[in-house]
Amino acid sequence: MKPQILPLQELERMSEEEKLSALQQYRAFYTIKELTREWGLSNPIQYYMWLKKHKLYDKVVRRADKFDPSKEWRRLKEAERRERPSGVPADQFRYGLDTETTGFELSQVFRKLADFLYNENGRFRCRIELRALPQAQFTEDAEREEEAGA
């Protein structure tokens, strides 16, 4: 059963052990976003600041959740190194596509890529992100295309 979230003022009046116990229970059932909303905080950063102010940050926040910029920098550099192997053949290439278009036009591009890759030997790395655009934007783009064609 979910524990009821006490107001922040009541939580502040508790002893450190009681606060810690309550926060651990809350984190087991609620997201940080839900807690910040319930306590009237404007964003999760204020939650973390509150924890630091009450010297609970290191006891509540899991090590894996703590942001370490140096670790993120190393991770990005390692990913970049893996993408650029040394001693690559002269015919290596990179193909990038960043566009907003219709499904039909995008399918044509994918067909051409599929035809190219069908007879290629070797290994490839591929990342694809496909997001639907808001319907209002799609409608505006379609209207512009109709006006241009008329």
The neighbour count for residue 48, using CB atoms within 10 Å, is 19
Per-residue pLDDT of the chain (150 residues; tens, 9 = 90+): 888 999 999 999 999 999 999 998 998 889 888 999 999 988 888 888 898 888 888 888 866 555 555 665 676 677 766 665 555 554 556 667 777 778 888 888 888 888 777 777 778 778 888 778 777 655 555 566 666 655
pTM of this prediction exceeds 0.85: no
Cα torsion 41, 44, 45, 48: sign: positive
The neighbour count for residue 20, using CB atoms within 10 Å, is 15
Please give the pLDDT value at position 47: 87
